[in-house]
Amino acid sequence: VTVVGDLHGQFGDLLHIFRSQGFPSATRPYVFNGDFVDRGPASVEVALTLFAFQLLLPNSVFLNRGACNHEERSVHSQCGFQAECNAKYG
């Protein structure tokens, strides 16, 4: 199991993890422990990639978030994710 934490919208870091550890698969499960978005320039890309892998491999890709994480509306509206979505998609 590969455990990943605090990507904070760093899509390059996510790709580096996949290159070094291998892409998620039925035999290579991943657990992502929150803070997927905010702060970095590619939060949308990180979130969509994680959601796509979770849809493709629901028994191998797990997305956790805490009670006060950056995925909460009250946090991401102040930390950049909402602004990034508005800038990219209106």
Active site residues: 70
**Which residues constitute the domain of residue 15?**
2-89
pTM over 0.85: no
More confident residue, 39 or 20: 20
Number of domain units in the chain: 1
Q: What is the mean pLDDT of residues 41-50?
A: 93
Q: What is the mean pLDDT of residues 18-44?
A: 92
- Burial of 71: CB neighbours in 10 Å, binned 0-12, 13-18, 19+: middle
- Residue 75 belongs to domain with CATH number: 3.60.21.10
More confident residue, 24 or 71: 24
Lowest mean pLDDT: which of 5-9, 11-15, 26-30, 59-63? 5-9
Q: What is the mean pLDDT of residues 15-41?
A: 93
